[in-house]
Structure formats: C-alpha cells, structure tokens
Amino acid sequence: MTRIAVDAMGGDHAPHEIVAGAVWAARDYGVAIELVGKQDRIEQELDKITHEGFMTDKGKGGPKKYRIKIDTSKLDIKITHASEVIEMGEAPGQAIRKKKKSSIVLAVDAVAQGSSDAVVAAGSTGAAMASSLFGLGRLQGIDRPAIAVTLPTIKKPIVVIDGGANSNCTPEMLFQFAVMGATFSKNVLGIEHPRVGVLNIGEEAGKGNELAQATYKLLEEHQEKINFVGNIEGKEIFLSVCDVVVCDGFVGNVALKVTEGTSSMLFRMLKQEFKADIAGKIIGLLAKPFMKRIYTKINYEEFGGALLLGVKGITVISHGRSHAYAIKNAIRVAKYAVESGVNEKIAKFHEEE
Amino acid sequence: MTRIAVDAMGGDHAPHEIVAGAVWAARDYGVAIELVGKQDRIEQELDKITHEGFMTDKGKGGPKKYRIKIDTSKLDIKITHASEVIEMGEAPGQAIRKKKKSSIVLAVDAVAQGSSDAVVAAGSTGAAMASSLFGLGRLQGIDRPAIAVTLPTIKKPIVVIDGGANSNCTPEMLFQFAVMGATFSKNVLGIEHPRVGVLNIGEEAGKGNELAQATYKLLEEHQEKINFVGNIEGKEIFLSVCDVVVCDGFVGNVALKVTEGTSSMLFRMLKQEFKADIAGKIIGLLAKPFMKRIYTKINYEEFGGALLLGVKGITVISHGRSHAYAIKNAIRVAKYAVESGVNEKIAKFHEEE
C-alpha cells in the first residue's frame, strides 16, 4: 500500500485540520499514512477524530459544515515523533540545517529512508522545497526542482510550471520544466501528447524577454520529444490552447496569484452588486448556488496542492490555509503521482537524451 | 482648446469606429480633434456620421446598440492626410523608418510640431511606441518610456507600470517607472500621496528575482520622494493596498492578460452553470444585468487606453479591438493627461534630483 508522510505541524490550521485530512484520505483512498510531528498532539487529534469526529465544510464552495467521525484505530496510520517545527517566517536554508528534528525535515527523511513514498506539507513552502532538495536529491538531468501547479480551465486542467520555486531562471532550466510538466501532465493527469507552451507577451518567436526567446528556440529544437506549440499569452491560459505552461517561478507565481486575486475581486463585486436593492438581494440568493459551484471548480482546495517536481521523491506542497478537505485532496495527488511513476519517467527522458 | 491627434487608420475597426469615437469625444468633452489618415476615407466617415449617424453599444457591457447622429461640421475637427498605414504584423522600428507618411508617424508628428497636444492610437502598439519615442524624444531623466495601465479595483483605480513596453529591465528603469506612475496617479487620477508597491512573489524585502530585490532597495532609499509601501503580491493588486504597481513590462503584460483571461473564464463558467436546467436559465436571465454591470466596470473600454509615459508628449495606446466608445474614453484620458501637466511634473521630479 502506498504510504504518505504528512507534516502534521505545517499550515495555519495544524495539527487539527492536517490530521483530519490525513485520516479522511486514509479512509477514502486506501492509503497508509505516516503522521510526522509532536506525538502527543497527534495522538490527541486522532483520539478526538475517533470519538468526537471533526467538522468540515468540504472547502469554501462545498455544502455547509458537517461532522465526520472516523475510527482511526482501523486505519493504517503511524506516528513519527518530531520535536521541532519550522515556522513560516524562518529562512528555509538555515532552518532545515538548524532544526534537524523538525516535522518537515523528518517527513522528507521518511521518504528518503523508504518508510513512506511521498510527503504532503502545508507549512513553509521554502522549507518544504529546501528539505526535499537536500533530503531527497535531484533527479537525473534536473538542475533545479520546480513547482507544478494544476489549474482548472474551461475544458481540461492545465499545468503551470514553475509556480514559484525559482525566481531567476535560465533557458535550460525552463526546458527541464517543460519536460517535467509534460511528463506530469501525461502520467498524472492522463493527457495524451500534452501540448507545451511558453508563457509570453505575444505569439511570435521574437516576442518577450531574453529568457522567453531563448526558451522558445530550445524547445523548437527538441520538437521530436516535446509537443511544443509556441508562445501563449496570459489571457490564453484558461482557453485550453495548451496543456503545460512553462515560465520562470517569478512570472508563474505572479500569474497564479493574479488569477486568485481577479476571481476573488469578481465574486466580491458581484456580491456587492446584488446587495444594491431588494430585487438584487433575492436574485443574488437564487444565483448563490451557481456561484458556489464555480467557486468550488476554481478553488485551490479541490486540487489540494502543487507538486515539487525534479527531486527523487514526491513532495506535494499545500496552501498554508488548507483545511482537512484540501489535505485529503493533496494526499490523493501524492498517491497518483507515486503510482504513476512520474519521476522514473522524467529520469528516463534524460537518460535517452 | 486642447487638440487630440487621432490615428484614424489604426485598430481592428478603423477608420469607422475610430472616427466615430473621435467625433463623439469632440461633442462630449469639448476637445478639438486632428484626424490623421486617408483623407477621402475620413471625409466619407465624417459625412456618414453627420447624415446617417453611427451605431454604438457603449462597449460590450452597456445598453443595446443605438444610433448617435452628430453634425461634424459644427465641431473643431481637422484632417491631416496620411497616405500609408502601418499594419499589425510589421516590425515597428523598420516600419516607422520606411513609412514616413503613415498615419501613426504623422499623428505623432502633429504633436511634435505643436498642431496637436496628444495622440490616441489603436493600431500596432509597437509602432505607436516607436514613433512616439523617435518623434517626441524622451523626458529628462527617463531612460525608457513605459506603459501605464489603469485597472479597476474594489475601491479606487490602480496603475500598473510597465504594462508591456520593456521586456528586459534594470532596477533604475523600474525606479523611473515608479516616479512616472506616482506622478500619473496623483495628477491624472487625483490620488493624493499615491502608495507605490513593487510587484513581487512575497512581502519580505529579500523575496523575488534579482530585479525586484534591487528595485526594492532603490525605492527604499528614496522614500522621502516616493511613498514606497514595499512588495505587493499578485493577489493583492485588486485590494487597494497600493495605488501604483511597479514591474517590468514582461511581468506586467502577463499579469494584465491573466486578469483578462481569468475574468472572461469566470463569466463563461457562470453562463454555462446557468444553462444547466430551466431554473438556472431563469435565474441566469435575472442575474444578467448584475453581471453586465460588473463586466462594464472591469471592461477595458471604460478606461479607453493606456498611457505611454516618459516621452515628451502624451500618447494614449488603445486596445486594437476598440470601438467608438473606447476611443471616446481614450481621448478623455488624453485630454486629462495634457491638462494635468503630468509630463512637466515628471520632468520636474528629475530636475530636483
């Protein structure tokens, strides 16, 4: 059985929501779990879930809160004690060297030692990346790991890589991101011959900054191995014109957060508009379930987490604000990634090079 | 009276919509107009507007199409003949050298010669930038002109600079963008002590790529002259946490287009959702006017165009898809910019340096 190590202490709602999400995933997806963190706190949470259950609202877009009670003693859950926790503000590199007994370092170590197959972490993204990089090492042919973020579009999901791991990139790095993103899209999302595009500010090959131009050339030269479809613009991300969007981590992170900001602004504006008069309030009330369904579709909690690709192991990085539902989904992503053998396939691409 | 030169031949709907928008602005805003383009085509359009009028829908979000008839002979409109047109695909630098009698080159020339005070152009952005840069020259203290785009937010409008003029930037350029954006925000949008933020992927000073880090330092050192509020993230752009967002033109253009893409995806998703059943269709019909009002608020046609800042003159760059309503608004922006003396104030900042 695939076992997922979960950093029980990471995230705004740790350990309560994290442990609940892990238990939920163990029940629903038939995965084994290794909870890493303060043993007494975790035991307390498990006990509470068995006897009292936990409240959940299935993410903001789902139905109203309801209680789930799960007998944790019947599931394959083990606890690995970690005496330390890396906090959000700490410098990742320093923190992982100083806090060798922290939950994230030991969760990654569980994968390195083979007791688990993947890590799910909702704490400091920097610490999760740094500990994965140092604890697991890089895959063959990969200079820098990158974050692959799955986004909903009108049709099928799209992968944006790099979502924020590397602010300063070279064309060679972006080429590797393209390979990793395409392998992920094919093997984890099940998209045949994923189309790869470079995020740019115009369609033509000569457009954009030096990095985008050089990356275009590099991908064009390797078209027999990568289904490169050219540049794609920011407004096309959601139009299913490609399956993998390649960019540096700075641009990728800005793009992802602008998406988040735009949708929350639009929903707020719409709510305000409905409040204008009595008729509006009634129509707003009627329209609410429809808006909620959209909100659920685009909600990050559905996708559960982004994958750190390029390390010898699977690390899923969840949103710091994750509740149980998001953690449950992140564990599902981790399980799929492990079972699809995405890493072996990335390494194989470079062996054949 | 302020006179605005309008490239009558630029844009997807030229010259019809462009001439209509110019006439409309002349009537509503009391500006004089210099229409630059093929004389016979322009005369034809003016004649049609006087005798038959033009159809408009006030931008996509406004009321249904209706006809406006304006007697153009009563307005201060002059025509400057231009025998050539620069097409969308042409390399801007080459095109402006080769086509010296093109409408955009002559429209800019009208400002350089003093017969008009500003240019409005909906054709090739590259050609508008190149002809403005070469025809008008740079303002004192400015190395590279930048595009200032005004966006709606929950509260007041925000300026994003650079919106796409410069893909490869230095920290010094971004510092100048900050000065120009703040001067624009204060003098054209009327925002006192505009707060300037650097678009970045985290709040802390050490976050982001080398460019963002160095820009942060530079702005911090000049806090007595610039109201610098630190880094802002993509999701905060619409939260009114600052008034001017500074970034390189690559990141800025991606961010703007992602905003466009996200909102059009959400509206499409919502429409689809409403189509699910009869009840949905009825609720969708009722909710439509509310959605339209939002659409109008965020529609680029309302803002009419982006300002090219940093040249000795005012150039407003409109969307290629502009209809009359957008052109009318672009002319309003041009008029405000001229009358506010934004350029003199940017030059003054650097004199005092």
B228: which 2 tokens?
């610098």
- Of B264, B262, B207, B261, nearest in space to B233 by CA: B207
Whether omega for the bond prior to residue A145 falls within 30 degrees of 0, making it cis, is no
Interchain contact, B234 vs A269, CB within 8 Å: no
Which regions in chain A score pLDDT beneath 70?
Answer: 58-64, 299-303, 350, 352-353
Interchain contact, B258 vs A253, CB within 8 Å: no
Interchain contact, B235 vs A210, CB within 8 Å: no
B79: which 2 tokens?
């025509």
Pairing status of strand A66-68 against strand A54-56: antiparallel
Q: What is the pTM of this model?
A: 0.89
How does residue B75 score in pLDDT terms, banded at 50, 70 and 90?
very high
How does residue B198 score in pLDDT terms, banded at 50, 70 and 90?
very high
Q: Which of A168, A208, A257 sits opposite B233 (nearest CB)?
A: A257
Nearest CA to CA, how far is A216 from chain B (Å)?
Answer: 15
Question: Which residue from A minimizes the CA distance to B91?
Answer: A206
Give pLDDT tens digits for B46-57: 999 999 999 887
As a whole number of angstroms, the distance between CA B162 and CA B166 comes to 7
Interchain contact, A234 vs B297, CB within 8 Å: no
Work out the average pLDDT over B94-107. Answer: 96
Partner B contacted by A237 (CB < 8 A) = yes
Q: Give the start-end residues of each E strand in A201-252.
A: 228-233, 244-246
pLDDT at B147 over 80: yes
CB of B111 closer than 8 Å to CB of B117: yes
pLDDT value, residue A174: 97
| CA angle at A133 for the pair A127 and A135, rounded to the nearest 5° | 90
Nearest CA to CA, how far is A281 from chain B (Å)?
Answer: 10
Partner A contacted by B350 (CB < 8 A) = no
Interchain contact, A249 vs B201, CB within 8 Å: yes
Work out the average pLDDT over B292-313. Answer: 80
Per the rule left: phi > 0, alpha: psi between -120 and 50, beta: everything else, A218 is alpha
pLDDT value, residue A352: 63
Question: Which residue from A minimizes the CA distance to B164?
Answer: A201
Work out the average pLDDT over B339-352. Answer: 84
As a whole number of angstroms, the distance between CA A131 and CA A108 comes to 7
Question: Which residue from B minimizes the CA distance to A276?
Answer: B290
Interface of B with A in 100-159 (CB under 8 A): 153-154
Task: Give the DSSP H or E segment for A146.
Answer: strand A146-151
Q: B183 vs A347, A352, B212, B340, CA distance in Å?
A: 52, 56, 21, 10
How many beta-carbon contacts under 8 Å exist across A and B?
167
What is the CATH T-level fold of the domain A1-142+310-340, as seen in this structure?
Isopropylmalate Dehydrogenase (3.40.718)
Partner B contacted by A286 (CB < 8 A) = yes
Give pLDDT tens digits for B152-181: 777 788 999 999 999 999 999 999 999 999
As a whole number of angstroms, the distance between CA B344 and CA B338 comes to 10
What DSSP assignment string belongs to A56-103? E-SSTTSSSPEEE---GGGS-EEEEE--B---TTS-HHHHHHH-TTBH
Lowest mean pLDDT of A305-314, B6-15, B275-284, name the range: B275-284
Partner B contacted by A256 (CB < 8 A) = yes
Q: Which of B167, B284, B291 sits opposite A201 (nearest CB)?
A: B167
Interchain contact, A235 vs B254, CB within 8 Å: no
Strand partners, B56: B66
Interchain contact, B248 vs A209, CB within 8 Å: yes
Give pLDDT tens digits for A324-349: 999 999 999 999 999 999 998 888 87
CB of A72 closer than 8 Å to CB of A50: yes
pLDDT at B278 over 60: yes
Interface of B with A in 47-106 (CB under 8 A): none
Interchain contact, B210 vs A154, CB within 8 Å: no
Q: Which listed CATH number (3.30.230.70, 3.40.50.720, 3.40.50.300, 3.40.718.10) goes with B1-142+310-341?
A: 3.40.718.10
As a whole number of angstroms, the distance between CA A101 and CA A116 comes to 17
Interchain contact, A235 vs B270, CB within 8 Å: no
Interchain contact, A258 vs B234, CB within 8 Å: yes
pLDDT value, residue A300: 63
Question: b/e map of B170-193 (b: 16 or more CB within 10 Å)?
Answer: bbebbbbbbbbbbbbbbbbbebee
Question: Which residue from A minimizes the CA distance to B284?
Answer: A287
pLDDT at B351 over 80: no
Does this chain's domain A1-142+310-340 share its CATH topology with A148-302?
Answer: yes
pLDDT value, residue B32: 97
Nearest CA to CA, how far is A340 from chain B (Å)?
Answer: 30
pLDDT value, residue A171: 97
Nearest CA to CA, how far is A129 from chain B (Å)?
Answer: 15
List chain A residues with CB under 8 Å of B268: 154
Question: Which residue from B minimizes the CA distance to A206?
Answer: B91
Interchain contact, A251 vs B248, CB within 8 Å: no
pLDDT value, residue B203: 87
Question: Which residue from B minimizes the CA distance to A168?
Answer: B209
Q: Which listed CATH number (3.40.718.10, 3.30.43.10, 1.10.1060.10, 3.90.1300.10) goes with B144-304?
A: 3.40.718.10
Could you tell me the residue ranges of all domains in chain B?
Answer: 1-142+310-341, 144-304
Lowest mean pLDDT of B177-191, B200-214, B263-277, B318-332, name the range: B263-277
Question: Which residue from A minimizes the CA distance to B256?
Answer: A234
What is the CATH T-level fold of the domain A148-302, as seen in this structure?
Isopropylmalate Dehydrogenase (3.40.718)
pLDDT at B64 over 70: no
Lowest mean pLDDT of B103-107, B163-167, B277-281, name the range: B277-281
pLDDT value, residue B348: 84
Nearest CA to CA, how far is A41 from chain B (Å)?
Answer: 31
Residue with structure tokens 């985008």?
A: A212
Partner A contacted by B285 (CB < 8 A) = no
Interchain contact, A168 vs B209, CB within 8 Å: yes
List chain B residues with CB under 8 Å of A260: 234-235
Interchain contact, B261 vs A234, CB within 8 Å: yes
Interchain contact, B266 vs A264, CB within 8 Å: no
Q: What ipTM was predicted for this assembly? A: 0.87
Partner A contacted by B258 (CB < 8 A) = yes
